[in-house]
Amino acid sequence: MLRITLGIHTPVIAVVLLILMVLLFMGSKKKNGPEEQLPNLTKTKEEHYANLGMTDQEINFFRDTMNITKKQIVQLQENMSASTKLRAIDLRNDTLRVSKALFKELVKEPKKLHLANHFLYTHLPNLVDLTSKYLEIDDHEIKNKQTYEKLEESAQIIDQVSKLIKKDYEQFVSDDLEDLDLEINVAKNSLKRDNENNNNQE
């Protein structure tokens, strides 16, 4: 009798489990959908990537990376503006301004994505996590000595990571500065030659 009952209920249980799995999958897809959705690729951007000789795979990887980075910068801005202490760190290090500037540089020069590895995959994500955790702890109704010590320690780490992001930007644009130095030296030498020629003619 027990075997017959189990036999009847087994297909029912399987169907119920299948429905639950489908519902869970659809729910997670709905939740993650907007996160993963990329903005439409404009004609101008498409031409920009084509002129740089980027493959479809490189373009997709770049756009995915920048989409994630943009969301992280937006989150960091929300986090930094939610606390007086974090706002002070941001003002001291220009964290948000530097992050946005580096983002813009990458948009202009997608082929240099590898030069911003530390910023994209370590420093920026870590800073978002640290500031989120800081706000979570700072929001506790009751704080003891240990809580304040942890907040202070977190603030110091956030300050240090902010400094690293500034270094990331400086290193990224260092090639441009070297190119400018070269152009300046060429121009100086040209002016010097012109002045010498003018003096000789006099």
Band (pLDDT 50/70/90 cuts) for residue 64 is very high
Residue 194: inside a domain, yes or no?
yes
CA 154 to chain centroid: 20
What DSSP letter does each residue of 80-131 carry, written as one string?
A: HHT-HHHHHHHHHHTHHHHHHHHHHHHHH-GGGGGGGHHIIIIIHHHHHHHH
Structure confidence by residue, pLDDT tens digits, 108-123 = 999 999 999 999 999 9
pLDDT at residue number 199: 63
Q: Which tokens sit at 84?
A: 């007086």
Question: What's the length of the chain?
Answer: 202
Query: Rounded CA gap, 135 and 43, in Å?
Result: 41
Q: Which of 42 and 132 is assigned the larger pLDDT?
A: 132
Of 200, 172, 184, 42, whose CA–CA distance to 111 is shortest? Answer: 172
pLDDT of residue 29: 44
Within a domain: 178: yes
**79 within 8 A of 133, measured Cβ to Cβ:** no
Average pLDDT over residues 140-156: 94
Domain that includes residue 94, residue range: 54-201
pTM comes to: 0.70
- Are 131 and 76 in contact by the 8 Å Cβ rule? The answer is yes
Which of the pair, 163 or 16, is modelled with greater confidence?
Answer: 163
Tokens of 91: 């003002």
pLDDT at 21: 52
Total tally of structural domains belonging to the chain: 1
Residue with structure tokens 């897809």? 29
Mean pLDDT of the chain: 81
Domain-located, residue 88: yes
The answer to whether residue 78 scores a pLDDT higher than 90 is yes
In a domain, 64, yes or no: yes
In a domain, 60, yes or no: yes
Q: Is the per-residue pLDDT at 88 higher than 70?
A: yes
Q: Considering the domain boundaries, does residue 17 fall inside one?
A: no
Look at residue 132 in the predicted model and tell me its pLDDT.
Answer: 97
156: in domain: yes
pLDDT of residue 194: 62
Determine, yes or no, domain membership for 1. Answer: no
Residue 147 is predicted with a pLDDT of 94
* Helices and strands, number each (H, E), in the chain: 8, 0
